[in-house]
């Protein structure tokens, strides 16, 4: 029986894929499988993956005929997964030797629906530890309770799918698939759904995931139209949370987080192509008007005045009205 399935999407990461694959080899066990999803790479990545599929125990190579984005690539891996437990890794990140076995042991001991872990942020010049915002470690917790309070950073603000491990019963319940076609912020509706609908989770201090920040091909570094998928992603969060039995309690957190994301993108609007910047303003204005206005009003009242002022101006903005200058964005 396959104990663990690890879903690893790749797209044009020939420079980094060898490190990723080497780390998988250092985590291999006879009851682990590694689902390598090539999302129609156009550089040297396919050849690297061909070799890895032959050489790494448990490696299974899956290919897309066209580029479909990270969310869909992860879904392709999930559809092929056979393991009792599931994990994710991105094709430009890597793992410490034995990290996956340590997480499997934690899953077996705690018998929770999912685990969350800390990770190491790696840049060209430095490394730093990013801790999951969950104080209690190594004990069963109720995911819904970890969404609040609205004014604090909580577990839903730590959306990284690769920072943890997941029981197959979540896959069987339809809670692990990502919204198809989302090219950024795909983790946001996903982590909210997990916390609303899963029964148990735990945080552990097992450190062994290395996240490579500042990769030039990452969508966080590219100011094109795909970045605006964060609006579709968080529209989904708002819609699904509004239908939750605890909507009155949870919506203020969802709205406040959405506002923070809009403010963050508007504050860095200069990195977007001009046509995309214009679309960002108009789509953000429409998104603010779609939110529950009473909840939005409370959220704006609790924010600093500079950021709230920018968001209020956006909300009043009409389609086709003159855009504010790039310098008018608030700090994220």
pLDDT of amino acid 103: 98
> What's the average model confidence in pLDDT over 48-69?
97
Whether 213 shows a pLDDT value over 60: the answer reads: yes
pLDDT of amino acid 190: 98
pLDDT tier at 181, thresholds 50, 70, 90: confident
Residue among 152, 132, 143 at smallest CA distance from 260: 152
Average pLDDT, rounded, for the chain: 93
> Running DSSP on this structure, what letter comes out for residue 217?
T
pTM: 0.91
pLDDT tier at 165, thresholds 50, 70, 90: very high
**What domains can you pick out in the chain, each with its CATH number?**
4-219 (3.90.550.10), 223-328 (no CATH)
CA dist 98 and 116 (Å) reads 17
Whether 179 shows a pLDDT value over 60: the answer reads: yes
pLDDT of amino acid 326: 36
Whether 319 shows a pLDDT value over 60: the answer reads: no
Q: What is the pLDDT of residues 115-161, one digit of tens each?
A: 999 999 999 889 999 999 999 999 999 999 999 999 999 999 999 99
Residue among 135, 134, 147 at smallest CA distance from 249: 147
Whether 234 shows a pLDDT value over 80: the answer reads: yes
pLDDT tier at 206, thresholds 50, 70, 90: very high
pLDDT tier at 294, thresholds 50, 70, 90: very high
Whether 322 shows a pLDDT value over 60: the answer reads: no
pLDDT tier at 214, thresholds 50, 70, 90: confident
Whether 330 shows a pLDDT value over 60: the answer reads: no
CA dist 210 and 213 (Å) reads 9
pLDDT of amino acid 215: 63
Whether 50 shows a pLDDT value over 60: the answer reads: yes
pLDDT of amino acid 124: 85
Which uninterrupted H or E stretch holds 203? strand 201-204
DSSP 146-180: GS--TTS--GGG---TTSEEEEHHHHHTT-SPPPT
pLDDT of amino acid 221: 46
3-state secondary structure of 125: coil
């Amino acid at each position: 029986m396959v104990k663990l399935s690890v879903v690893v999407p790749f797209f044009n990461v020939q420079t980094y894929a060898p490190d990723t694959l080497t780390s998988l080899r250092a985590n291999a066990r006879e009851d682990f499988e590694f689902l390598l999803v090539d999302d129609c790479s156009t550089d040297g990545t396919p050849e690297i993956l061909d070799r890895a599929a032959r050489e790494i125990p448990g490696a299974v190579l899956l290919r897309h005929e066209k580029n479909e984005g990270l969310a869909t690539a992860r879904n392709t891996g999930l559809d092929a997964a056979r393991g009792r437990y599931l994990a994710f890794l991105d094709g430009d990140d890597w793992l410490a030797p034995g990290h996956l076995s340590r997480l499997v042991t934690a899953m077996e001991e705690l018998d929770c629906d999912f685990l969350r872990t800390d990770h190491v942020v790696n840049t060209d010049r430095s490394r730093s530890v990013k801790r999951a915002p969950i104080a209690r470690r190594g004990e069963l917790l109720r995911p819904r309770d970890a969404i609040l309070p609205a004014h604090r950073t909580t577990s839903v603000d730590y959306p990284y799918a690769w920072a943890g491990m997941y029981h197959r019963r979540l896959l069987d319940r339809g809670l692990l698939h990502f919204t198809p076609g989302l090219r950024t912020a795909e983790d946001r509706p996903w982590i909210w759904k997990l916390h609303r609908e899963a029964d148990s989770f735990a945080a552990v201090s097992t450190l062994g995931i290395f996240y490579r920040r500042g990769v030039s091909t990452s969508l966080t570094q590219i100011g094109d139209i795909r970045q605006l998928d964060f609006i579709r992603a968080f529209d989904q969060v708002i819609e699904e949370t509004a239908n939750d039995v605890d909507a009155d309690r949870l919506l203020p957190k969802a709205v406040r987080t959405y506002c923070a994301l809009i403010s963050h993108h508007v504050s860095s609007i200069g990195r977007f192509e001009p046509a995309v910047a214009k679309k960002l303003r108009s789509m953000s204005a429409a998104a603010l008007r779609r939110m529950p206005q009473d909840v939005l009003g409370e959220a704006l009242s609790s924010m600093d005045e500079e950021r709230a002022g920018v968001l209020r101006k956006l909300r009043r903005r009409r389609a086709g009205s003159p855009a504010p200058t790039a310098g008018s964005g608030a700090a994220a």
